[in-house]
Structure 1
């Protein structure tokens, strides 16, 4: 086989491998959360993996100029009571389960409550379906987070 053919074959192999990786979207990264009432961006949560589990940390809050820019979680309990929401880990211990990540929890700083949670990618990785629930997944609330730029 000539050097030109080898180079062509190597180029095709790299292109196919890169294409396959690009198609496999990841839940990791920055996500814009949307306020249920106003439908406006509420925060940016960064999802990262540690020890085979997913976690989500509040990276940024979208607040009105007249609002407290770094509010405390006054409704949280325990160690999180009166801690800054900015930098808080709100998504914890999700494990890969087929096309979803399940078995973890999500904290709602607005009411200080922690719920069971599961997440899944939608719309080719542009949207994240986030489900918080009590007991079984049928009883709960779903939010859609958009991938942050």
Structure 2
């Protein structure tokens, strides 16, 4: 009976591991690299094999603020080609269409900077907390134009924490 119970538990755990989400999925807080202060709360998820990201809250602005830039800009596959200048910052899916390279690594998608409405190629890499360089689970979000780019390092959060940035 014990052997049967151990076998059943092992199969259950192995099956659960097969359906576990990618480590990039979850809730994150973007951090300003100059001030080290939170700028926004995010939800990252996988849908139909692609990675997406939605802003849940924003620091230093009313939560119903429209984007600061992008009036008249439209991008293919971004919210049905909506005018960027008419989109509320919180609640919009600013990261879309990233393709999985391997576990925790995504690329070939896009991110829009809500501050100016510009679209960038996007790469995301999950870094597990190691107690050294990464004190907690971290998401490296990199926006790129051609060979040039900039990375931000987002910290893991709960849904409540990511939704509470003000």
Asked if these proteins are the same fold (TM beyond 0.5), I'd say: yes
The residue aligned with 1:121 is 126
- Equivalent runs, 1:83-102 vs 2, <5 Å: 83-99=87-103, 100-102=105-107
The residue aligned with 2:68 is 74
C-alpha RMSD of the superposition: 2.5
Is 1:142 matched up with 2:136? no
The residue aligned with 1:51 is 48
Give the superposition deviation at 1:69.
3.7
Give the superposition deviation at 1:148.
1.1
Cα 1:71–1:98 shift into 2, 3 Å? same
Cα 1:28–1:61 shift into 2, 3 Å? same
Structure with greater contact order relative to length (CA < 8 Å, sep ≥ 6) = 2
> Pick from 142, 157, 161: which aligns with 1:131?
142
**Residue correspondences, number:** 141
Preserved CA contact (<8 Å) 1:74 1:82: no
Give the superposition deviation at 1:12.
4.4
In 1, Cα distance between the equivalents of 2:86 and 2:33?
24
In 2, Cα distance between the equivalents of 1:68 and 1:129?
26
Cα 1:12–1:53 shift into 2, 3 Å? closer
SS at match of 2:86: coil
The residue aligned with 2:26 is 29
| Gapped regions of structure 1 (runs ≥ 5) | none
The residue aligned with 2:6 is 8
Give the superposition deviation at 1:18.
7.7
| Gapped regions of structure 2 (runs ≥ 5) | 75-82, 130-135, 159-166
In 1, Cα distance between the equivalents of 2:46 and 2:3?
41
